[in-house]
Chain A
Amino acid sequence: MTALDPTLSGLIAGIATQRIRTVDLTNILSPDFPVIVLPAEFGQCEPFRMETVSRYDGNGPAWYWNNISMNEHTGTHFDAPAHWITGRDVPNGTVDAISPDDFIHPAVVIDISNEAAADEDFIVTRAFLEAWEAAHGTIPPRHWILLRSDWSKRVGTLAYLNLKDDGAHSPGPDAGAMRFLVQERDCVGLGVETVGTDAGQASHFAEPLPAHSILHGHGRFGLQCLTNLDQLPTFGAVIVAMPLKIKGGSGSPLRVMALVSGH
């Protein structure tokens, strides 16, 4: 018998004794989970669908299984660099080629829940981030940036997509904030509770859809439709996010988990 490496055994023991707590950051993948709605001139994202093949019946007396279908960007999902035109030439930019080293990274949680509650079109700017750093400390390099907006608490209501006559309304970053996070703080990626890393109205920004454009152009990732971010500390959570190994895939639904100190 070979002993576990002490670091790994420490991790296992930590989880077993709950010194390390696991937090599921994933929404349930269900047919009624909303998907992003693009302007009508573009192709649309398919929601999750499930048809039962058998359920202990004539089509499979002892087994239950379903056929499922969805878009790569349905439910809680991962955006690979190749998702965006700016990231089309990023090496290893598709989900099948991303290094497993990138599946586990620490995270910084930035709480914008009060701002988002007051203004559903709240924009995270560089100035906002600098003020946040002054209050909480500098964002370390190679971290996921998780925007806690409490938007996940709207899941199950029309206020989640929040479609109005002029489109969706939800918070997100502007280009200045994204450049700051990517170029000056070397983030791994941006994780959000909303249906896209960009704000609902971000296609109307002077520099449109900055989160997608800047993140992926620099080979960074996106995580969308996260939940339970309110259970994470500002610093110290480790995110485990492993997209499916879809050949040439632009993204993938996935289970996202955080490891946090139990104390």
Chain B
Amino acid sequence: MSQHPPRDKRDPLARRKERHTPPGLRSSALHALSARAAAGRFVLQSCQDCGAMTYPPRDACPQCWGELVWQDQARGALVLCETTIRATTDLYFRDHLPWRMGKLALDAGPTALAHLHADLKPGDRAEMHLMLDKGGNAALFALPAGGRPDMDDRQWREFTVPVKDRIVLVSDARSAVGRAVVKALHSAGAGLIFAGMAPPARAADLTDEWAGLDRVQTLPFDITDSSLVAEGISKIAGPLDIVINTARFVRGGRNLVDQKRMMDIAVLGFMRLSGACAPMLAGRPAGAFVDLVSIQALAGEVGFAGYAAAEAAHLSLLQSFRHDMRAQGVRVLSIFSGPSDDEDYQSVPPPKVAPARLAREVVEALRMGREISCVGEVASDAMERWLADPALFVREKNL
């Protein structure tokens, strides 16, 4: 039986620390920046008329009033100067003082204020990242260029979801993807992983499956059963930092019984799981909910019409859940993928995503605090085509 990882000592009578999120009001142009930052892109606006690059985001070119378009940019920058903020009226930053910021000359052109990694000093080369803060808004963060920056940097950790020593629930650890996710989290140093095992179980299941892996504990868990979700969450008892929803039921065809189960898992199951764990995640300093979504959710797909419909509803709920959790500083991350190379997509020819690849992306999305990730060429290509021309993409997927 695995043990809970040791917790920080704290005064048992102390009042609960309230958590705040960074200021949230943003212009429409800044929301457009955040939407791109959510997918890990580093973009700036350039003027279609005069070609000038601009930062921070604006509604029109400050040089010529021309129309601005978003363009991916080189991430390089030079630190010009730095400052340390020691006083603020903002509740979130007040909890995190002192806070270092710097002014950087971006290789892309503009000069910008950014949050600074502790190892950066004026004159250093930096690598720029558009990160989402705890409130879900884009912020520029400068990491040291080249080499391997210290990812435990105090400020950087505010924009990411640390996995090391954290307590994680994987909603369905029985599938190939679920098993791979448990293993990847274990390799990433998660403190304790609850591996959800839906009934029915073989007599050997609860003992054999994770033999040999410490810090993994199986948990009877089934997101189609409200009572088992409540019971499972109650068995976790202690803090819960990260929830990864790997549960899915994939079937082609038009069988109504299958369809009902697909909806029960993708839609109602998501609601049961997210509803039950939201309060626990909200109490944590870096709570996160990661969900695996089929890229078929974007536009439907002939052959998997029912599953795509269930996933479309799932995606819709996930997006609203992200909004609900922002106010509490909980990150909601979506991992899109195409067919996975497992029993669910036996009838689909390659390219398919290996479960281990999908699992690595889960850890990577947490490490980078990335809200939207696409794993594998099928998902990346579909997302690109959907963003470019949704009407055409829908037509192509349903020819």
**Using a CB–CB distance below 8 Å, which chain A residues touch chain B?**
30-32, 34-35, 37, 43, 46-47, 49-51, 158-159, 161-165
How many whole Å from B326's CB to the nearest CB in chain A?
Answer: 26
Residues on A with C-beta less than 8 A from B201 are 158, 163
The reply on B227 being an interface residue by CB < 8 A is: yes
A164–B203 touching, CB < 8 Å: yes
Contact of B227 among A50, A162, A165 (CB under 8 A): A50
Q: A30-B227, A47-B225, A50-B227 are in contact. List 5 more A-B contacts (CB 8 A).
A: A35-B200, A43-B257, A46-B257, A162-B203, A164-B202
Whole-angstrom CA separation of A43 from B261 in the bound complex: 11
In this assembly, does B226 line the interface, its C-beta being within 8 Å of a C-beta of chain A? yes
Contacts of A159 in B (CB 8 A): 203
A190 to B206, CA, bound (A): 33
Contact (Cβ within 8 A) B226 A163 = no
Asked whether any CB of chain A lies closer than 8 Å to the CB of B337, the reply is no
Assess the B226–A50 pair: CB atoms within 8 A.
yes
Residues of A within 8 A of B211 (CB): none
Residue B25 lies at the interface, judged by CB distance under 8 Å to chain A: no
B204 at the interface (CB under 8 A from A): yes
The interface of chain B, by Cβ under 8 A from chain A, is: 199-206, 220, 224-228, 255, 257
In angstroms, Cα B224 to Cα A161, docked, is: 20
> How far does the alpha carbon of A164 sit from the alpha carbon of B202 in the complex, in Å?
6
B224-A158 in contact (CB<8A): no
| Contact assessment for B203 and A163 in the assembled complex, using a CB-CB cutoff below 8 Å | yes
| Closest 8 A/B residue pairs (Cβ) | A163-B202, A31-B225, A158-B203, A31-B227, A37-B200, A158-B201, A43-B257, A161-B200
Most buried by B among A31, A46, A50, A165: A31
- How far does the Cβ of B276 sit from chain A's closest Cβ, in whole Å? 13
Q: Tell me whether A49 and B203 are in contact (CB under 8 A).
A: no
Q: A32 near B199 (CB under 8 angstroms)?
A: yes
Question: Given that A158-B202, A161-B200, A162-B203 are contacting pairs, would A32 and B226 also be in contact in the complex, using a CB cutoff of 8 Å?
Answer: no
Q: Which residues of B contact A163 (CB under 8 A)?
A: 200-203
* Given known A-B contacts A50-B227, A51-B226, A34 and B199 have beta carbons under 8 A apart: yes
State how many angstroms separate the Cβ of A169 from the closest Cβ of chain B: 9
A161→B257 CA distance, assembly (Å): 23
A47 vs B205: C-alpha distance in the bound complex, in angstroms? 19
B200 touches A164 (CB 8 A): no
With most chain A CB atoms within 10 A of its CB, the pick from B199, B205, B206, B228 is B199
Contact B200 A49 (CB under 8 A): no
Please report the C-alpha to C-alpha distance between residue A37 and residue B203 in the assembled complex, in whole angstroms. Answer: 13
CA–CA, A35 to B201, complex, Å?
11
Closest-CB distance, B82 to chain A (whole angstroms):
54
Give complex CA distance A164, B205 in Å. 9
Contact between chains at A165 and B202 (CB < 8 Å): yes
Complex Cα–Cα for A165 and B255 (A): 28
Residues of B within 8 A of A47 (CB): 199, 225
Can you sample 27 A-B contacts with CB below 8 Å? A30-B227, A31-B225, A31-B227, A31-B228, A32-B225, A32-B227, A34-B199, A34-B200, A37-B200, A46-B257, A47-B199, A47-B225, A49-B225, A49-B226, A50-B226, A50-B227, A158-B201, A158-B202, A158-B203, A158-B205, A158-B206, A159-B203, A161-B200, A163-B202, A164-B202, A165-B202, A165-B204
Q: Name the distance in Å between A205's Cβ and chain B's nearest Cβ.
A: 22
Q: Smallest CB-CB separation from B203: which chain A residue?
A: A158
Inter-chain CA distance A32–B229, complex, in Å, is 11
Chain B residues with Cβ under 8 A from A43's Cβ? 255, 257
CA distance A63 to B205 in the complex (A): 41
Kindly provide the distance from the CB of B344 to the nearest chain A CB, expressed in whole angstroms.
12
Min CB gap B218→A, angstroms: 12
**Smallest beta-carbon distance B161→chain A, Å:** 32
Set of chain A residues within 8 Å of B226, measured between Cβ atoms: 31, 49-51
What are the residues of chain B within 8 A of A161 when measuring CB–CB? 200
Q: Report the Cα distance A46→B203, complex, angstroms.
A: 20
Provide the bound-state CA to CA distance between A51 and B271, in Å.
Answer: 13
Q: Give Cα A98 to B205, complex, Å.
A: 41
Q: Which residues of B contact A158 (CB under 8 A)?
A: 201-203, 205-206
A158-B226 Cα distance, complex, nearest whole Å: 20
Q: Determine the distance from Cα of A156 to Cα of B234 in the docked complex, in whole angstroms.
A: 19
Residue of B nearest to A158 (CB): B203
Contacts of B227 in A (CB 8 A): 30-32, 50
Cα distance, A46 to B228, chains bound together (Å)? 15
Bound CA–CA A37/B200 (angstroms): 8
A144 to chain B, nearest CB (A): 28
**Chain B residues, CB < 8 A from A164:** 202-204
CA distance A35 to B199 in the complex (A): 10
Closest Cβ of chain B: how far from A43's Cβ, in Å?
A: 6
User: B123 CB to closest chain A CB, in angstroms?
Assistant: 62
Tell me, rounded to whole Å, the shortest Cβ–Cβ distance linking A139 to chain B.
34
CA distance A43 to B228 in the complex (A): 23
Q: How far is the CA of A245 from the CA of B205 in the complex (A)?
A: 38
Question: How far apart sit A50 and B272, CA to CA, in the bound complex (Å)?
Answer: 12
Task: Give Cα A164–Cα B208 distance, bound, in whole angstroms.
Answer: 12
Min distance, Cβ A51 to any Cβ of chain B, angstroms: 6
In the complex, what residue of chain B is closest to A36 when comparing beta carbons? B200
In the bound complex, residues from chain A placing their C-beta under 8 Å from that of B199 are 32, 34, 47
Q: Shortest CB–CB separation between residue A67 and chain B, in angstroms?
A: 11
C-alpha spacing A51/B224, complex, angstroms: 11
User: Which B-chain residue is minimally distant from A163 (CB atoms)?
Assistant: B202
B202's nearest neighbour on chain A, judged by CB, is A163
How far is it, in angstroms, between the C-alpha of A31 and the C-alpha of B220 when the chains are bound? 12
Q: Which residues of A contact B200 (CB under 8 A)?
A: 34-35, 37, 161, 163
Q: Which residue of A lies closest to B258 (CB)?
A: A43
Q: What's the Cα separation between A159 and B227 when bound, in Å?
A: 22
Min CB distance B342 to A, Å, is 14
CB distance from A229 to the nearest CB of B (A): 23
CA of A32 to CA of B220 in the docked complex: distance in angstroms? 10
